[in-house]
Amino acid sequence: MSEANGSDAADQPTSEKLVELAKRRGYFFQSSGAYGGVGGFYTFGPQGASLKGNVEDAWRDRFAVAEGNMEIDAPTIMPEPVFEASGHLEGFDDMLVECPECGESHRADHVVEDNTSYEDAESLPIPEVEEVIAEYELVCPSCGAGLADQAVETFNLMFDTNIGPGDSQPGYLRPETAQGIFVEFPRLKEYARNQLPFGVTQIGRAYRNEISPRRSIIRTREFTQAELEYFVDPETDEPPLERVADVEVRLYPVGEQNDEDGSEIETTIGDAVEEGVIADEWVAYFLGVAKPWYEAVGVDMDRFRFRQHLSGERAHYAADCWDAESEIDGNWIEMAGFANRTDYDLSKHEEYSEDRFTVFKQYDEPKTVERATVDPDMSYLGPEFGGAAQEVVSELETLAERDRSAFEGETVEIELEGESHELPVEKTGFSVDEETIAGEHVTPHVIEPSFGVDRVVYTVLHHAYSEDEVDGEERTYLELDPEVAPTFVGVFPLQSDDELEAVANDVVDDLRKAGLSVTYDDSGNIGRRYRRQDEVGTPFCVTIDYETVEAEETTVTVRERDSTEQKRLAVDDLAETLAAIRNGDREFEAL
């Protein structure tokens, strides 16, 4: 490489270098390249698929197995009524602005964020976004034409499809895995023996027809989510905060974001809850669970924080939401959202479906309660209200349950289609009776940690990307944690030699039987092979040399990736030793 090219490469942002490495070494690349590629779709190559699978397994171990939650795998296509009930048909939109010259569509909030000091333009109302575009005279990112006079419109992100032939049923590719859990709640609660709290996890694909996918696998049209829906009784269930109270976190709450001099807060989960920085204790608990997990899979904690959603950017279902964010080349990207979805989803699906989305909570002992009821005189309501009589009955039932004092006078007032009506109380059949009940139906609230697996993978790779110099030669390597590295050990015969190759193959077999991921490489000089494995993040390399076959004790050279330090270890103990290092029970430096 020429000095000039070396200088240009050194000036590249890490993201650009990483994308080049990812394509060259089989981590990820744009799909359908033989046909020119298609925006927003990526294929994970052999290294990337393995890394992604390891991240998913680590997530499953922590959020499903360790927490005692169940896991399901729901379809990626669901019928239209599901998304009518969930609110996605009406409220799952991004802001679109179209260039008047080249016709390219762009996310208006991204155009604003990329060219102004606004950091969260997504939270702004559309008229304000239009004003910002005009004030800053923002232009089309593709051709440079002015966008000041262009209308900003909403664009629904769901992919639609048809289920079946002929007059088929309309359906959509799910924009989140969560709805696959919610619609199956009536059955899932039975598996949980109708006992709250309980959690259901799912790892799977989701689809969003992004206006302008960008930044490789950070914003795509098809991606993988790992989600936990945790169902709780909002009145009685409390999280085990003592387990995570001492977890240190960096928080960026709304108050600090809105303050010109605001900054991130370094605190603990326990203190943040006590001081009211995190108001929702369940959300706080899962933040405390997530932070050590991110650190374990290789996210740099110096470039990690939790940011609270501003009111304008919260999803339609969320009472509160915090994002886990990582810093990438000076920008913060969302990796996960931690939301209290309240009872929105279950209540909506109960309203739109023919099933019950509640849990019957048995009392320790039966209770005697007063119940306000109505039994309206239909011979009065029918002539008075005609076809709306049944709606009047519903309004009276709701009012009796909510405010029995409304029936204390001679007349009671209800509202019907925006108009007020007075009815004689005697015609409502209002009464308060005592009733003995064994329990009550509770609509659970949902606490949701939702992880974008692809973004975690990208962050882990970006934070692992390193450059140094070894023996006077520049080296690029990925400092991946052994828990998630696609390959744990590379095995090399020093030279092309039948005896060395035979031993190397035996070593490979032993290591694989011990459950370690192994690659065998006999191509090129040993230095070049080390560099290849360093660049894909393989933590250890084992070299079989002539000392292996000639010395009295059969040993091999084991090289550690980050330090490049080498040690000779006995072949008989090799698999056990490396497995102990992989599991965190031993350290290479102490061998």
Helix (H) or strand (E) holding 82: helix 80-86
User: Cα separations (Å) of 223 from 213, 231, 245?
Assistant: 12, 25, 33
pLDDT of residue 11: 62
User: Is 464:478 a contact under the CB 8 Å cutoff?
Assistant: yes
CA pair distance 326, 333, nearest whole angstrom: 5
User: Is 559:565 a contact under the CB 8 Å cutoff?
Assistant: yes
CA pair distance 480, 470, nearest whole angstrom: 18
Q: Are residues 65 and 100 in the same domain?
A: no
Q: Are residues 513 and 561 in the same domain?
A: yes
Q: How big, in percent rounded to 5, are the helix, strand and coil portions of the chain?
A: 40, 30, 30
Q: Supply 335's token pair.
A: 């990796």
CATH code at position 510: 3.40.50.800
Residue 415 lies in a domain: yes
Residue 121 lies in a domain: yes
CATH code at position 124: 3.30.40.230
Q: Are residues 327 and 260 in the same domain?
A: yes
Domain count, the chain: 4
How many other C-beta atoms are found inside a 10 Å radius of the C-beta of residue 150? 20
Question: Of the candidates 3, 21, 50, 7, which has an alpha carbon nearest to the alpha carbon of residue 534?
Answer: 21
How confident is the prediction along the chain (591 residues), in pLDDT tens digits per residue? 233 334 345 567 899 999 999 999 999 999 999 999 999 999 999 999 999 999 999 999 999 999 999 999 999 999 999 999 999 998 889 999 999 999 999 999 999 999 999 888 988 999 999 999 999 999 999 999 999 999 999 999 999 999 998 777 999 999 999 999 999 999 999 999 999 999 999 999 999 999 989 889 999 999 999 999 999 999 999 999 999 999 999 999 999 999 989 999 999 999 999 999 999 999 999 999 999 999 999 999 999 999 999 887 777 677 789 999 999 999 999 999 999 999 999 999 999 998 999 999 988 888 888 889 999 999 999 999 998 999 999 999 999 988 999 999 999 999 988 889 999 999 999 999 988 888 889 999 999 999 999 999 999 999 999 999 998 899 999 999 999 999 999 999 999 999 999 999 999 999 999 999 999 999 999 999 999 999 999 999 999 999 998 988 899 999 999 999 999 999 999 999 999 999 889 999 998
Q: Are residues 74 and 117 in the same domain?
A: no
Q: Are residues 145 and 281 in the same domain?
A: no
Which residues touch 246 (CB under 8 Å, ≥6 apart)? Answer: 268, 269, 270
User: Is 561:539 a contact under the CB 8 Å cutoff?
Assistant: yes
Q: Please, which residues bridge with residue 364 across strands?
A: none
CA pair distance 419, 411, nearest whole angstrom: 16
Question: CB-based burial of residue 541 (10 Å sphere; 0-12 exposed, 13-18 middle, 19+ buried)?
Answer: buried
Please tell me whether residue 197 adopts helix, strand or coil conformation: coil
Q: Are residues 129 and 73 in the same domain?
A: no
Residue 558 lies in a domain: yes
Domain boundary among 156, 191, 206: 156
Domain boundary among 134, 156, 178: 156
pLDDT of residue 5: 37
How many other C-beta atoms are found inside a 10 Å radius of the C-beta of residue 270? 16
Overall size of the chain counted in residues: 591
How many other C-beta atoms are found inside a 10 Å radius of the C-beta of residue 108? 30
CA 18-21-22 angle, 5° bins: 85
- Alpha carbon dihedral 580, 582, 588, 590, in 10-degree steps, equals -40
pLDDT of residue 10: 56
- Output the CA torsion sign for 260, 266, 272, 274: negative
CATH code at position 304: 3.30.930.10
Report strand pairing: 445-452 vs 465-470: unpaired
Q: Are residues 107 and 190 in the same domain?
A: no
Q: Are residues 74 and 110 in the same domain?
A: no
Q: Are residues 494 and 509 in the same domain?
A: yes
Residue indicated by tokens 């997990």: 293
Considering just the CA atoms, what is the radius of gyration of the chain in Å?
30
pLDDT of residue 13: 86
Q: How does DSSP assign 492-548, residue by residue?
A: EESSS-HHHHHHHHHHHHHHHHTT--EEE--SS-HHHHHHHHHHHT-SEEEEE-HHH
Q: Are residues 534 and 415 in the same domain?
A: no
Q: Are residues 335 and 206 in the same domain?
A: yes
Residue 475 lies in a domain: no
CA 493 to chain CA centroid, nearest Å: 42
Question: CB-based burial of residue 539 (10 Å sphere; 0-12 exposed, 13-18 middle, 19+ buried)?
Answer: buried
The edge-to-edge listing of strands for the beta sheet with 540-544 is 518-520, 489-493, 540-544, 555-560, 566-570
How many other C-beta atoms are found inside a 10 Å radius of the C-beta of residue 498? 8
Residue 477 lies in a domain: no
Which residues touch 96 (CB under 8 Å, ≥6 apart)? Answer: 105, 106, 107, 108, 152, 153, 154, 155, 211
Q: Are residues 399 and 493 in the same domain?
A: no
Residue 550 lies in a domain: yes
DSSP letter for 146, please: B
Residue 385 lies in a domain: yes
Residue 3 lies in a domain: no
Please tell me whether residue 107 adopts helix, strand or coil conformation: strand
User: Cα separations (Å) of 430 from 220, 397, 520?
Assistant: 57, 9, 82
User: Is 589:540 a contact under the CB 8 Å cutoff?
Assistant: no
477 backbone dihedrals φ, ψ, rounded to 5°: -145, 160
42 backbone dihedrals φ, ψ, rounded to 5°: -130, 145
Helix (H) or strand (E) holding 50: helix 46-59
Helices (H), 251-409: 254-258, 269-274, 281-297, 344-352, 378-385, 389-402
User: Is 239:245 a contact under the CB 8 Å cutoff?
Assistant: no
Domain that holds residue 99: 93-156
Residue indicated by tokens 């080249």: 102
